[in-house]
Amino acid sequence: MSEKLVKIDRIDRRILELLQKDGGLSNQELAEKVGLSASPCLRRVKALEEAGIILKRVTVLERKKLGLALTVIILIGMDRHTPERFEEFESRVAELSEVQECYLITGQDADYMLKVVIPDMDAYHVFLLNKITRIPGVSGVHSSFVLRRVIDSMELPLAYC
């Protein structure tokens, strides 16, 4: 992690746009799409990785094919707002593979927002009772079930660069 500075020009932005959408693009395909030959294109991608702008590649799987039909948004309130409570909660949540996202958030109603992926209601019931409500400090839990996935990605808006 040398973390050098990189000034992102039009071509870099295009590279980031394309790679965000398709991380499986070969360097050659990418080069062609941005109008460069393979070597400068690869050097740019490497530089973006060096700079820490490109973090990693991941593979996205289809949840339904894996029997994970249910996605739940959970809002959780804590009884006391002490660092110990938060640390305990966070390390316990980090152990749970069903939790895809967990954020500490502002707001009077909730302290944490979780996104959980799980096979069905039965499994969710077990998950909630045995995993979430067992964590010390958890006082209020509100579950919202996802009916429709309008947008679900990790793409960042590059328009502000």
Partner DNA sequence: ACAAACTTCGCAAACACTTTGCGCAGCGGT
Partner DNA sequence: ACCGCTGCGCAAAGTGTTTGCGAAGTTTGT
Site string for DNA, 8-47 (x = CB under 7 A): ---x--------------xxx------xxxxxx-xxx---
Partner in contact with 11, chosen from a second copy, DNA, none, beta carbon below 5 to 8 Å by kind: DNA
Residue 29 beta carbon to DNA: minimum distance, rounded to whole angstroms? 7
| Cβ neighbours around 104 below 10 Å, total | 12
Alpha-carbon 31 to chain mean position: 27
> Which residues make Cβ contacts (< 8 Å) with residue 19, sequence separation at least 6?
25, 30, 45, 54
Residue 149 token pair = 């996935």
Partner in contact with 90, chosen from DNA, a second copy, none, beta carbon below 5 to 8 Å by kind: a second copy
Give the span between the Cα atoms of 127 and 137, in whole angstroms: 17
Angle, in degrees to the nearest 10, between helices 10-21 and 27-34: 130
In this chain, which of 28, 80, 82, 94 binds a second copy, going by CB under 8 A? 94
Cβ closest to DNA, residue 28 vs residue 133: 28
Residue 24 beta carbon to DNA: minimum distance, rounded to whole angstroms? 10
Instruction: State which of positions 19-78 bind a second copy (CB under 8 A).
Output: 19-24, 51-63, 65-68, 71, 73
| Cβ neighbours around 61 below 10 Å, total | 9
Give the residues lining the site for DNA (CB under 7 A): 7, 11, 26-28, 35-40, 42-44
